[in-house]
Amino acid sequence: MKQVFFTLIFLCLYTFAFSQTKKDDTYNKGKIYLKDNRILSVKTLQITDEEVNFLHKENLTKGAVDLTDVKLIRVPKGNYAGRGALYGGGLMTLSAIYALIKINSDPYVEPKENAGAILLGFIVGGTLVGALIGSASPKWATIYPKKNNSASSNKINYKAGISASTKHIGLSLRIGF
């Protein structure tokens, strides 16, 4: 019994110790947006300090790009199942409310006894279909460049413009933080 107890403690400590190590920056798939406006869809994406190594998605050949040439790297992280379920359920709930209003406003139509169960079935069905559609749509997270929230990294962009026609003259100034 002591051996089982010590083995369990060892496994717990072993798992805890290795859960604190730094994760490798390797991802199964992703998109690399280059500064020359090309987009590379890749597999087995690995980011080092100086470059990005990957496999091309089309022909599975190895490739590498310097980080100085990369504008953005995005990887799939999660999906929109919750939002799809909310939209599907909400749309079907609004449809059910509209149907109840129409039925109650018509004196010649009498709802069946199981109408509430049928409407509830439509709402649940819409929620499930919305969740299914949303789960097929991946969310993309930006992993490079890493966001820096310090005040020194903030830039102020501005763009001034003049427009004129036969009836008016306009000045514009856009400021972005």
Can you list the pairs that 92-99 forms with residues at least 24 positions away whose Cβ atoms lie under 8 Å?
92/122, 92/123, 92/125, 92/126, 92/127, 93/123, 93/126, 95/122, 95/126, 96/122, 96/123
Alpha helices of the chain — where are they, by DSSP H?
2-19, 81-105, 115-135
Work out the pLDDT band at 162, boundaries 50, 70, 90: confident
Rounded Cα distance between 70 and 90, Å, is 41
For residue range 69-123, list pLDDT tens digits in order. Answer: 999 999 999 999 999 999 999 999 999 999 888 888 888 888 788 888 889 999 9
| Cβ–Cβ under 8 Å, residues 63 and 54 | yes
Spatial contact of 123 and 93, defined as CB atoms under 8 Å apart: yes
Inform me whether the pLDDT recorded for 134 exceeds 90: yes
For range 149-175, the mean pLDDT: 72
Residue 121 CA to residue 102 CA, distance in Å, equals 19
Q: Is residue 22 very low, low, confident or very high in pLDDT (cuts 50, 70, 90)?
A: very low
Task: Indicate the pTM of the whole model.
Answer: 0.56
- DSSP-derived letter for residue 67 is G
